[in-house]
Structure 1
Amino acid sequence: MNVVIKIFSVLASVAAGAAARKALEMGWRKGTGHEPPKDAGDLRNSLPGVLVFALVTAASGAVIQVVTQRLGRKATVGLERYPEEV
Structure 2
Amino acid sequence: NGDNAMKILIKLLSMGAALAAGAAARKALEAGWRKSTGNEPPKDAGNLRNPLPGVLVFALATAASGAVIQVVTQRLGRKAALRLGRDPREV
Task: Provide the secondary structure at the position in 2 that maps to 1:80.
Answer: coil
The TM-score, its normalising length taken from structure 1, stands at 0.92
- Runs of 4+ displaced beyond 2 Å: none
The aligned amino acid for 2:53 is P
Residue of structure 2 equivalent to 1:78: 83
Percent of aligned positions with the same letter in both sequences?
77
Unaligned runs of 5+ in 1: 82-86
RMSD after superposition: 0.8
Q: CA deviation at 1:3?
A: 1.0
Tell me whether 1:10 sits opposite 2:10 in the alignment.
no
What is the CA deviation profile of residues 47-83 of structure 1, one whole-angstrom value per residue up to 9, with x for unaligned ones? 00000000000000000000000000000011017xx
Residue of structure 1 equivalent to 2:24: 19
Q: Which has the higher relative contact order, 1 or 2, with Cα contacts under 8 A spaced 6 or more apart?
A: 1
Q: Give me the whole-angstrom Cα distance separating, in 2, the residues matched to 1:41 and 1:72.
A: 36
Unaligned runs of 5+ in 2: 1-5, 87-91
The TM-score, its normalising length taken from structure 2, stands at 0.87
Aligned length: 81
Q: CA deviation at 1:27?
A: 0.1
